[in-house]
Chain A
Amino acid sequence: MPSLKELRNRISSVRATQKITSAMKMVAAAKLRRAQEAAEAARPYAERMERMLGSLGGSMAGSAGAPKLLSGSGDDRVHLVVVATADRGLCGGFNGGIVRRARELIDELEGAGKTVRILCVGRKGRDQLRRLHGTKIVDIIEGVGRRSVEFAEADEIAERVRTMFDEGEFDVCTMVYARFKSAISNEVTVQQLVPAPLPERDEGADAGGPSAVYIYEPDEEAILEDLLPRNVSVQVYRALLENAASEHGARMAAMDNATRNAGDMIARLTLQYNRTRQAMITKELIEIISGAEAV
């Protein structure tokens, strides 16, 4: 049976923790709103770019002159896996979920006899992958989106990917990140970046008539030459934004839970404290009474 003093100390320490978690929850909620807005605001660009790529790529796919970012390097031996996680923990199963999916993907690829290299975006992914796959990690990029995710940051990461591709260091690049669904849920997504996957051509979409024949200026190849690298940046940017929103959502949920648990714990400890206190008073009374009776 812990003494009254010990109980008091525990109660005050749990209360202090509760204050921290509830503050973190509020911070996460505020950041979530901003991240969510940013993620939603960035969607139109990515969508329109996909649409453009769809109509361009459709007419170029398979032809000999197609740029490598679209047609691939003609091989698929070396895979680059970009694992996007958060830099910080305390966000429930967010990082764990992404890393788990990344591990599955790596095992799958290695099972198929491919060489895997890993590019970590975010420190937590590195920490968790280092033990099993340490030698495959090419590089870690930290500090992305410390305040908000900037396009320039995404562009830098994309530039690394493009440079590596140009130098023939990998054949296929996939990115693992968490797609934001709602404040309390996200979905770990695996997306291929290079070669650019062509979106499914659905005829019903407002393609401006029966899959309109576009005039290209200057020509398809030149536009693709510009558009494809840009597309990599945009996809990375979008993934990072979605990831940031998911992270804050996950953290908010985790901290909400922690705050509630701390509340439960305080209630339990307070009850125990009061019981112990009463038991002591009763004991003292009994001692006094039985002392008086003995006289």
Chain B
Amino acid sequence: MADGKVAFELVTPERLLLSQEADMVVVPGGAGDFGVLPRHSPLISTVRPGTIRLHDGGGEPAEIFVAGGFAEVTPERCTVLAEEAVPLADLDRAEVERELREAREDAADTDDERRRAAALRRAAVAEAKLAELG
């Protein structure tokens, strides 16, 4: 591994989405965003719906939206287990707004406790997407 780089891995249940080295990774942790630089202390954190920013080589950071999950950080690497991950640029505002509306309707329609919780979670993810789109 090149010195002074973080080995970053983004994994979804379906597959290993991304595995590359970066100068710094900013992860939306459950208790606030945190940046990961090489030789970071070991850390395990929850991840809230938000954007991971991958800084490498001084250019614009790569931005990837994740819908929650977990992150494991060791001095050499940073692994994010995401429930769903999409490059921020691929998100479509109209699409997300529709998702949000549907999720809210589902939540209002159902009287099953678990279904409502699931729908509310979807709504929260959609809201986070909208917030990231600005």
Contact = CB atoms under 8 A, between A and B. Distances in A.
A64 to B, nearest CB: 21
Contacts of B81: 45, 48-49, 52
Contact of A213 (B11, B42, B45, B76): B42
Q: Which bucket holds chain A's interface residue count?
A: 20 to 34
B14 interface: yes
Interface residues of B, number: 26
Nearest to A150: B14
Contacts of B12: 45
Nearest to B40: A215
Interface of A: 38, 41-42, 44-45, 48-49, 51-52, 55-56, 151, 159, 163, 207-209, 212-218, 222-223, 226-227, 230, 233-234, 237
B43 A41 contact: no
Contacts of A42: 13-15
Given A48-B79, A223-B70, A217 B14 contact: no
A208 B76 contact: yes
Contacts of A213: 42
Given A218-B31, A227-B70, 11 more contacts: A41-B15, A44-B15, A45-B16, A45-B81, A48-B72, A48-B79, A49-B81, A208-B75, A214-B44, A217-B30, A223-B70
Contact of A226 (B15, B46, B77, B114): B46
A214 B14 CA distance: 27
Contact of A44 (B16, B29, B34, B43): B16
B41 interface: yes
A44 to B, nearest CB: 4
A205 B90 CA distance: 37
29 contacts: A41-B15, A41-B16, A42-B13, A42-B14, A44-B11, A44-B15, A45-B11, A45-B12, A45-B16, A48-B11, A48-B79, A48-B81, A56-B44, A208-B42, A208-B74, A208-B76, A208-B77, A212-B42, A214-B42, A214-B43, A215-B42, A216-B44, A217-B29, A217-B46, A218-B30, A222-B46, A226-B46, A226-B70, A234-B13
A232 to B, nearest CB: 12
Given A216-B44, A217-B43, A52 B72 contact: yes
Contacts of B114: 159, 163
Interface in B17-65: 29-31, 34, 41-46
Contacts of A41: 14-16
Contact of B13 (A45, A56, A216): A45
Nearest to A225: B46
A161 B82 CA distance: 22
A128 to B, nearest CB: 30
